[in-house]
Structure 1
Amino acid sequence: MFHRYIEKIKTIVKWGKILLPLSSIRFYPPQFILRNPVIQGVTAAINDGHEVAVIVFNLKNMNELAEQLSQSQFAHLIKQIKKYFRAAVEEEIATQDVITLHDFYGDGLTLYIKVDESRLCLSEIDTIMRKIINHVERNLQKYNPAIQTIFTTGYMFVEKKYHSIQDSVVRAHRQALAMAEKRVKSEFNEMVFAIKRIISKKNIKLLAQPIINVATKETYALEMLTRGPAGTVLESPLSLFSVARQTGVLYELEMIVIERVFSQMKATKCRQDIFVNCTPLTLGNIRFTRDLKTIMQQYKGISPKQITFEVTENDSIEGLKNFIYNLKMLRLMGFRIAMDDTGAGYSSLSIISEIMPDIIKIDRSVIQNIDKNSIKESMLKGLMLIAREAGSLVVAEGIENEDEASVLTRNNVDLAQGYFYARPTALINSIAT
């Protein structure tokens, strides 16, 4: 009788979760049709202006472990793995950024997180995955040193333009799983084929967004932004560059972007200064300056003084032995260097003294609602002092309204960029001049 009573209580608690807020069922939500916490969480994040990353952690040797262990031992191992993953996620990711960690009936674990697009770094996702795996493997080693687990990871972003959020989530999960498993004849191979076809055909589109002189309201420069083939899953720059990164062709893609920038500058007779985004991985490649000189030979007449290489992503520059050397070479050639995402984390501040950038771009996270937040304005002033000490111009990114812009004016910020001033558009003669 008592046993039956306990089971009834467990059932009530289990199904009672249906009525709980999403924050209460963030980790391993129950499988029910009445309410889908993944779709609800993703929809809310997208409506709030965030990107959503789907990260898959796949236990590659699950079948071998199932054969090696008894049924009860294997069930307990899976329980421990889920426990350690939850602890790792709670330690590595801010609670408000976790949408859900889901087990999907044992087909690996899937983590949905919201990401602020204005300070998104693909390298941060790589770092998060690595830290979570390391955390889990350390605890599993303590749990049972004889058990060897092999995890593979992959990620993808939920496409906002797809016709329904649910279909977008399913599609992103399938693609992230393909990245993790890298199976023959899987969607991974299809994406490898797609990204290599983009590279072979140089099938990308560039848009130009003005960077404005705050004092004169004139266009100071144009930042070139990349899009993949229209109407495909790789049209979004997030998807395009994340697939390129995970399939080992990021350098090739970024060099094509640089070549297309030169090509469009020549075709439009562009006289404006141009900003081009590059990751430290590309800027630190031993082939970079040589390949850049080859491009310059093809498009003679374009002055390096017109071009600023903007260092994007917060990849660690430690171990990139050619990175600082290549920056010195670029400066000798006449190019300028900008540093993106300043203020988004300690890492960006710590490398200012190493890079000594010509231009510092202050991250959107500092600028957003700065007119309502005196601490953010103090942060802006502090970053400007650092920039002045380094001899750098300052660009405030992501300005979306007049109130934010007014704070820049009273603080004598040099340059600004954002939808308040202009949206990205194709580079045409009238813009270029």
Structure 2
Amino acid sequence: MRRSFVDSQFLWKWLFFAGTLLLAFGSASRHPQLIYGIEFTFTNILLLMLVRLFGIRIVLPVAVLVYAAAIFIYHEPSYIAIFLLEVCWIGVWQIRRPGYLLGPDALFWLCLGAPITLFACWLSGSLSLIECILLYSITASNGLFNTLIAEILVNYVPFGRWFGPIKNNKPLMITFRRVLFHLSITLIALPFLMNMIINGRDAFDVSTRTTLQTASNTANSIKGELDQWKQENVLGVQLEGLIQIGYLQEMIKRNTTQKLFDITIMNQHHKVLATNSKDVVLAPEQNQSAIPTVDNFLIEVPAQSIVLLPTQHWRNARYVHTVSLERIPLIISVSVPVKAYQEQIFREYIYQLMYMLGNVTIAALLAWVINWWLGRSLMQLARSTTNLPARLKQMVPLEWPNSGILEIDSLTHNFKDMSQNLLHMFQDALRMNQRLQSSEKKLHQLAYYDSLTTLPNRLQFHQVLSGLLSEDGGHNERIAVMFMDLNRFKQINDTLGHAVGDILLQKVAERFKMIANESCKVFRLGGDEFVFVMRYGINNAPDDFAKQICNCFEAPFELDDSSVYTTISIGISLYPEHGTSMGDILKKADMAMYVAKEQGASSYHFFSQTLEDSLNEKMYLENGLRNALHDEEFFLVYQPLVSPASGKTTGIETLIRWRHPKSGIISPDKFIPLAETSGLIVDIDLWVLREACRQAKDWQDRGFPKIPMSVNLSAKQFYRTGLFEDIRTILEETGLNAHYLNLEITESVFIKHMDPVIDTLTQLRNMGIQISIDDFGTGYSSLSQLQRLPISVVKLDRTFIQDVEQSEMKSSVVKAVIELAHSMGLKVVAEGIETEQERNFFTRLACDELQGFYFSKPLEASLFEQYLIIEYR
């Protein structure tokens, strides 16, 4: 919508430009005539207006075309080009000092107009001072009038509102003095211009009538004498007798006592019979133009295609009155030179111009006096009211004008009353401000500082960090954001109380304040979260400062009557390496902090792209886990447990796999920890248990050997109620005998709530289900604890098996574990058998079962069936 409006303004702007130019061309063809070639032209009103609006560079070419057309097409005098010079002068002046037009134009006519006019009169061949003064006066008046009207149009017509910005000039502020000046001069100049045009026509008419009357009387006098001639004189004239022609010459002489006009008598063929003129003009020739006035009376003007001055072709112009006789075949022509009246009329025009100049001068002086009178009071009032609130606030004394004009005095009185009210308001505001300043400090403290630790709070942290990120990076400084979290703070709160926790936070804040400085500021975000914002230039500076933060936690914190040790986890992200927005920097520092928390003790970790990729992958997999069960993306694989003595399969371990629709097969090492963290492991374990029992029962029904099926259970299963009922329900649904189910658990099951776990396992064993300890030796249990647990199988972890023959110590430990387990009535399974040497070693140690890639990799159900078929064939 806005673009359409701008395009419309652009179109109307240039339509206005083209229309104004067409009017300028039209104005150049027709000019109001004054007298004897002197005329007024209004073309420059349009051109000067375009110069002010569009600039001389655009207008000058078309102005040249306009005046070229006026001279060469409309045959205007070449002197009219002085108006083109006027356009150029004002246009150049506007480039240097844009503003008003009338002042530069007056300077033009004073400095250039007078010399150019004088030189043009000299070139025209006849330097008449009266003619030169009149021509200059009228031309200068014409130019000034055009400029005045153009300035008024530009200043008061809202072109900018109609067409938008036309030229990159600031709009001029129109002052009251300028408006009054325009009004005064226009009210005098416009009527006087009309008066000059009317007086010019009247003077022309008077001179024409006077000349016609004189010429008519002279012609009638001669005609009266000729009418009294006898027939023989008439015949003598027809025969061109010398006597009759002498009579005619004598008659002309009697009627021309003054040399104001020429008399010529011709025959019907326009042959001159008698005259008192040396230059006889019988009829308009090709080099003359006739201007008819009334019957038998015309003005003959020498026709010239191009003239310099507008008065030049009128210098030899003549009034001509002709009378044709009826009785005598003669034509009487009375010719009066225009020059006889021209100088007198020119003088009258000069007097009128002087009168106008006097009126304009008086009006200008009067306008200046009125401006001074009104403007002085208004300007004094403006100065007194400029920045009035600030001056009143500073108690600066004010001077109020006293002009004697009712309206201005009333306005001054209103401002005085207003200033008094404002002064009282400022005094009240000052007292209120003093009360508010203390409140403002408190509000600022509450808004930007933490009330417990007095550290800058989260709001100030966001402002400081966003300000640093938005600064110009021309100082070769980078930014490090160190996101911190106290370890075990919740445990301290729960055991020692929240009051002690608050004291700990205050102590931590005090230590942070001691290491903070101008380039590294500390903030408390809330709870036990703190953040340092560091500006640095040396690469290892964040690393060194992070170590300094960790050192703050080496000494204990004295809390009331006790000493408490705690640690800190710090995640660090760098700007601009790790992001350019505040959100990215904070998010990545938070990511790094959680990695540091996993490392334990007081530690720090820098964000890296690998870390982000890992977290993104975890999030991607965790989101997929929620749909994997529903979309049947999980499947089971089976790995045999082999008897060392016979080499036959004596057991099957069920393992879960995930076939992701986009990422393919995903290892359990990736998704099982995510399922543990998210709690989805409970549903996944139950699905695996149900599917394993169903498959085992299916194989038994189909005639395969009845072999126990081992299923892994997560520790989270034992921290909820209903596990026993769920397992019993699954066995009932699938029809599998409990003696063929072996539940594998890890030692982490016994970390928390050991007794309830033992109770649940005892119930399951009483059902006939076997219980195995998986990955024995990597967790928290010891051999002495095994006698308390209701288990029947111990599975040695791969770490016991790898390189056992090369290490006597490891070999001795393994032998001792197997012998002690056998002494307690427990079966021993060795996991991860991959070589013949490892098989032989554990066979010699009388291990009950072996499992590993040496025998078979985990296989899907169809392939495992083939494995069993081949084995028992």
Could you state the TM-score of these two structures normalised by the residue count of structure 1?
0.61
1:279 equivalent among 714, 717, 720: 714
> Match for 1:174: what amino acid?
E
CA distance in structure 2 between the aligned counterparts of 1:129 and 1:310, rounded to whole angstroms = 32
CA distance change for structure 1 residues 136 and 251 in 2, over 3 Å: closer, same or farther?
same
Corresponding residue for residue 48 of structure 1: none
1:144-198 per-residue CA deviation (whole Å, 9 max, x = no partner) reads: xxxxxxx9x9xxxxxxxxxxxxxxx96x73354359xxxxxxx73x444311111
CA distance in structure 2 between the aligned counterparts of 1:223 and 1:84, rounded to whole angstroms = 49
Corresponding residue for residue 197 of structure 1: 627
Counterpart check, 1:252 vs 2:683: yes
> Match for 1:237: what amino acid?
P
Counterpart check, 1:338 vs 2:772: yes
1:369-408 counterparts in 2 under 5 A? 369-408=803-842
1:339-375 per-residue CA deviation (whole Å, 9 max, x = no partner) reads: 0112235535464233242111111111101122221
Q: Is the 8 A contact 1:202 1:256 kept in 2?
A: no
Shift of 1:320: 5.4
Counterpart check, 1:420 vs 2:854: yes
2:658 equivalent among 210, 228, 238: 228
Corresponding residue for residue 319 of structure 1: 753
Secondary structure of the equivalent of 1:246?
helix
Aligned residues: 307
Counterpart check, 1:290 vs 2:728: no
1:278-308 per-residue CA deviation (whole Å, 9 max, x = no partner) reads: 12221343121121222223212x1110011
1:308 equivalent among 742, 747, 770: 742
CA distance change for structure 1 residues 85 and 240 in 2, over 3 Å: closer, same or farther?
farther
Structure 1 residues not aligned, in runs of 5+: 1-57, 89-100, 112-125, 141-150, 154-168, 180-186
Counterpart check, 1:136 vs 2:591: no
Corresponding residue for residue 589 of structure 2: 108
CA distance in structure 2 between the aligned counterparts of 1:305 and 1:59, rounded to whole angstroms = 54
CA distance in structure 1 between the aligned counterparts of 2:796 and 2:718, rounded to whole angstroms = 21
Shift of 1:71: 3.8
CA distance change for structure 1 residues 366 and 85 in 2, over 3 Å: closer, same or farther?
farther
CA distance change for structure 1 residues 309 and 129 in 2, over 3 Å: closer, same or farther?
farther
Q: Is the 8 A contact 2:773 2:791 kept in 1?
A: yes
CA distance change for structure 1 residues 252 and 345 in 2, over 3 Å: closer, same or farther?
closer
> Match for 1:402: what amino acid?
E
Secondary structure of the equivalent of 1:361?
strand
CA distance in structure 2 between the aligned counterparts of 1:335 and 1:235, rounded to whole angstroms = 30
1:352-367 counterparts in 2 under 5 A? 352-367=786-801
Shift of 1:218: 1.0
CA distance change for structure 1 residues 193 and 177 in 2, over 3 Å: closer, same or farther?
closer
Structure 2 residues not aligned, in runs of 5+: 1-481, 487-508, 522-531, 535-540, 554-570, 579-587
Secondary structure of the equivalent of 2:838?
helix
> Match for 1:285: what amino acid?
R
Corresponding residue for residue 72 of structure 1: 520
Secondary structure of the equivalent of 1:245?
helix
CA distance in structure 1 between the aligned counterparts of 2:616 and 2:783, rounded to whole angstroms = 36
CA distance in structure 1 between the aligned counterparts of 2:647 and 2:802, rounded to whole angstroms = 20
CA distance change for structure 1 residues 289 and 326 in 2, over 3 Å: closer, same or farther?
same
CA distance in structure 2 between the aligned counterparts of 1:346 and 1:307, rounded to whole angstroms = 25
Secondary structure of the equivalent of 1:268?
helix
> Larger RCO: Structure 1 or Structure 2 (Cα < 8 Å, ≥ 6 residues apart)?
1
CA distance change for structure 1 residues 247 and 405 in 2, over 3 Å: closer, same or farther?
same
CA distance change for structure 1 residues 247 and 411 in 2, over 3 Å: closer, same or farther?
same
Secondary structure of the equivalent of 1:194?
helix
Q: Is the 8 A contact 1:344 1:366 kept in 2?
A: no
Shift of 1:410: 1.7
Corresponding residue for residue 299 of structure 1: 734
CA distance in structure 1 between the aligned counterparts of 2:548 and 2:589, rounded to whole angstroms = 13
CA distance in structure 1 between the aligned counterparts of 2:596 and 2:698, rounded to whole angstroms = 42
> Match for 1:211: what amino acid?
L
CA distance change for structure 1 residues 233 and 332 in 2, over 3 Å: closer, same or farther?
same
1:206-241 per-residue CA deviation (whole Å, 9 max, x = no partner) reads: 111111111111111011111112563772101121
Corresponding residue for residue 639 of structure 2: 209
Q: Is the 8 A contact 1:207 1:427 kept in 2?
A: yes
Shift of 1:78: 7.3
Percent of aligned pairs with the same amino acid: 22
Q: Is the 8 A contact 1:280 1:312 kept in 2?
A: yes
Q: Is the 8 A contact 2:643 2:850 kept in 1?
A: yes
Report the RMSD for the aligned CA atoms in angstroms. Answer: 4.0
CA distance in structure 2 between the aligned counterparts of 1:374 and 1:202, rounded to whole angstroms = 48
Corresponding residue for residue 263 of structure 1: 694
> Match for 1:136: what amino acid?
S
> Match for 2:689: what amino acid?
I
The structure with the larger Rg is 2
> Match for 2:859: what amino acid?
T
Shift of 1:405: 1.2
1:123-157 per-residue CA deviation (whole Å, 9 max, x = no partner) reads: xxx9x976634x228xx9xxxxxxxxxx9x9xxxx
